[in-house]
A = this chain, B = another copy of it.
Amino acid sequence: MNEPKPNLGRSLAEAADRADELAKFRNEFVFGEENVIYLDGNSLGRLPKKGQERLTRAVQDEWGSRLVRGWVNGWLLEPRRAADKIARLIGAKEREVLVCDSTSVNLFKLANAALRVKNRKVILSLAGNFPSDLYVLGGVGELRTFGTVEELLHALTDEVGVVSLSHTCYKTGQVHDMGLITEEAQKVGAFVLWDLSHSVGVIPLQMNKYNVDMAVGCTYKYLNGGPGAPAFLYIREQLLPHLRNPIRGWFGHADPFGFQPEFKPAETIEKFMTGTPPVLSMAALEPALDVILEAGVDRIRKKSFLLTEYLIALVNERLTKYGVSVASPIESRKRGAHVALAHPDAWKLTQAMIAHGVIPDFREPDILRMGLAPIYTSFVEVYDAISMLENILANNLHVKYESSRTGVS
């Protein structure tokens, strides 16, 4: 391997780790395979130790022994407690947030409900939005997508019922201007519906400050809630009475256990619940949120700038000559916590890195996503990961891997 310039070398990374006031939070997480460098916390966050403890109790003591009594004063209260903690992370009031179902189901509920308010049919989004969001939205209304935010804003008319974007793009990591887009959409009477999945827990968010109407988000990425943990949704307090959940169910009833034949929706945001909450998939979420809240999103964002800037500097210095380029915004405040690297052999490189103990992920057609979850990622890991990628490229270690994706990465 080539020696990097001294100012970007491993000793700098070591010094940065020593100076990192969040470094101690690594101890809050399980490191099952000590030698794996995990750069995919934007797909699935690591297991918090307190989450593991909580899960053991939920299975053994509660399901195993308390049985159905686990619900009363227990499981029934967990979605609300988790939601109130998420509210703090996104600058919303308690009871403006709900934890239930999947991000896609929640997006369906909110987009559907919002279109009905003014009986509008048109939804605007970006072509680069998360494909699943586009699938959902296209099934709910007349979806129009655009290449840029400017084009989208230009298309705002009083036909538009909903503008729905991801705050941070899952692919490039680009962060959109929530205040501007919200304001412009509301000028024509449209509601905004933000997907916060790749922002929550790593970027300070301000639902109330920007008067955001609605949002959804995922809890298994930077919030570390666990694989398939339930999603959340946010509704602006004043908007809530005007929205109707299209998927009614007993957990959205004003008195779920009254077993009344008539549906009477809850007056609170709980009216957007539907069926029985997935207890075990939700159990680790609250302790996971506690870790993020204790670290503080402002500090997490600050470390995120340093980590991603360091990675970009290393790439520019050492990988450009192998055809690697940075596909994320260079200006830190316009970038989320992952850095997208473009290379024609991105899929082969992903496989080679995984085989060598570094786990990034891949997005079609040519993107290596380097997710640097600040709560448990060290500067030395960034250094070692880029050194590994350099070694792979310099020695063509990736050429033997398959050239097209056949599974999930």
Contact = CB atoms under 8 A, between A and B. Distances in A.
A211 B194 CA distance: 44
Nearest to A63: B47
Nearest to A245: B139
Interface stretch (A14-22, A335-343, A359-367, A384-392): A359-367
Interface in A65-93: 65-73, 75-76
A195 interface: no
A183 to B, nearest CB: 27
Interface in A215-268: 218, 220, 226-231, 246-253, 256-261, 263
Number of copies: 2
A138 interface: yes
Contact of A64 (B32, B230, B407): B32
A134 interface: yes
Contact of A105 (B56, B69, B101): B101
Contacts of A139: 246-248, 263
A320 interface: no
Contact of A102 (B71, B263, B274): B274
A138 to B, nearest CB: 6
A103 interface: yes
A105 B105 contact: yes
A47 B59 contact: yes
A247 B104 contact: yes
A127 B68 contact: no
A408 B66 CA distance: 14
A81 B263 CA distance: 35
Interface stretch (A275-283, A305-313, A322-330): A275-283
A226 to B, nearest CB: 6
Given A32-B61, A139-B246, A408-B76, A281 B228 contact: yes
B249 A132 contact: yes
Interface residues of A, number: 88
A258 B68 CA distance: 41
Contacts of A101: 101-102, 105, 275
Interface in A122-172: 127, 131-132, 134-136, 138-139, 145
A139 to B, nearest CB: 4
Interface stretch (A36-44, A184-192, A295-303, A394-402): A36-44
A30 interface: yes
Contacts of A64: 30, 32, 46-47, 52
A228 B277 contact: yes
A359 B67 contact: yes
A145 B261 contact: yes
Interface string A359-382: 101011000000000000000000
B55 A220 contact: no
A138 B248 contact: yes
Nearest to A282: B228
A33 interface: yes
Most buried by B among A62, A230, A279, A359: A279
A60 interface: yes
Contacts of A220: 276
A328 B354 CA distance: 59
7 contacts: A32-B65, A52-B64, A72-B407, A102-B276, A131-B260, A218-B276, A258-B364
The 10 closest A-B pairs by CB, nearest first: A32-B65, A102-B275, A104-B249, A132-B250, A227-B279, A104-B275, A278-B281, A139-B248, A281-B281, A228-B278
